[in-house]
Structure 1
Amino acid sequence: LTGAEIALMTSMLRFDMLASTMLLLAFGLLTVGVGLASADRLFSLEAGPRTETVRTVGKENLLLRGLRRVAPGPFGVLVVTSLKDFFRKSENVAKLMLCLVVSILPPIMVAYVAVSFPVEAPPMIVFFMGVMMMVIVYPMLGGMTFGGIGFLESKNHLWIIQCAPNGAAKFVKARVVAFFLSALPFAIIPAVAITLVQGQGLFIGPILAGLAYVLLTGSALVGVGVASLNPTYETARSSSFYVNIIVTVGIILGSTFVPFLVGFRYLPPLVDGALGFFAWILLLTVLPLMLIGSLLCYIGIRNLSKPDD
């Protein structure tokens, strides 16, 4: 194409700020949904009536050995076991890798969309748009990654948990800690990418990493809570897997978007600047997500403690 033809296509396809933002969000949501669904399907195509699960024991890495030293008791063993159980499944690793890739896309996509912003738009608008993309994408990434997984090995596993003293509480807490540790690198790496791509100050990086981390961990709390209320078993893959994912994402959307939309209309930021904007985001999205996730985990613990009829 010639320069004139490219300019003509640009003038025809350029949208205003609102349309560009909506298209960007739609593309991000579609990419996340299709990618996670494909990752789960990719490693289950050969599953059939003769499929057997074979577990091998290898040498533990430095992180797992460090966790055993920090927490040498039974709870530390549960955390290490939860981490090994989560990462030994190929579909979970694929979801985490997709989570990492998709989480880096928002700052890059926002930087390209910024060319359609008005000239008089303030420079911080690009940064704020990147943060808003994090608020929208990260909770769903966390919910789809840490929700809908095989929560228990089998009915016998549930029976063992119920027979142990405070077994349900220890098991759920160990799952939560394992997911919190798993989410840590997926909060730091995208925050560094946003800081470098958008040329923000060094102090912005830790703030973005903290925001990304609490969004991921809040969604992990919701995922664990939903799974403990409707346990799924690895030995009998059923529709409960997909029901848990749908319920998890629905709760996450309700606990983040609804307070944000209400606050955007009736509760503007009390303090101007980046710090005031971050505090506003934490109040409207992270706080409800954490509270609802913690409540679901508490109810899930009580549900797992009840013997089956």
Structure 2
Amino acid sequence: MSLAPAPTATRGEIVLQPNYFTSSIYVQALRDDINTLTHRYHEAYTNAQCAQPFQLFKSIWCSQGWHWLIFKVFDRRTRDRFLDTTLRLFLERMTTNESPFTQIVALFGLYTFFYSQPKGTSPPLYGVSNIPIPLDQYVSLRSFPETLTTPLLQPFQPSIVFILTKLLNDQVFFIVPRSDLGTLNPRDLPREIFVDESSVHAVGSTAPKKKGRPTKRDKAKKARKTLNELEEWLTQEPPTGSTTAMDEYQSFKQQLMANVDHSAIEKANGLVHERLKEARAVVTMGSGGDWGIERVERAISEMNTSTGSYGVLSLL
């Protein structure tokens, strides 16, 4: 996977690849920014006790530069992934596992970011018209205003009701099956994990290997290691007085042949010869080629004239 900018197929412009926005580089950074936005807004609202909570949110949104985020990328294919991932990261903070205040800020952010998409531009700028949302989260989101019953959260009810009404009337939400079925694409964020090369070298060789298909780097490293071991083995000289594998093989073979009946060896030679001729006739259909039959016939004739030959069994 490459997260580096690359040229487009049409005009040769340098653009970010779509998988950049599903990688840990963007996902983790945006999650941290959403946390910072939530803390800043909570701090400002607690100190000011503003009567218009959404107006206070917009001032913090603009002061931290969030209003420029919508112009981060312009390539259509990459922009589709950018918008989808950003809206999804706001949406993931609106689950029942989060505190009500975090859900409020996430809803404010999702609403502001979605309706900040420029329209009627020249040239036209790509935008999304729907936000995928799991069914269980959609149900809990519709009942979210009813949970704002504490004195601290009651001032948010009018803004939350207005935003949800606007989103529902515009049919923004695209409902998908429950979140436990993993219906969003990609299933989990981040999908690509970026690992710095310096951290890879810092990991010792005793680290457990990851499950799955080996990378090209792992395959190349294993191939070099195997080649070096083979070269070392070939350059080694056998110890003085030691027997090689071929010597052991010849010794065991002679012992075996000495205990086998000579008629059985002749029968095996004849069977091999006949099967080889049948195979040549079937495959080549008379198109030529000796298929090694000459070597077999020569070995059989040597067995008949020499006592130290075993015919086909003498061939390597």
TM-score (norm 1): 0.30
TM-score (norm 2): 0.29
Say which one has the larger Rg. Answer: 2
Which structure is richer in relative contact order (CA contacts within 8 A, separation 6 or more)? Answer: 1
Higher relative helix content: 1
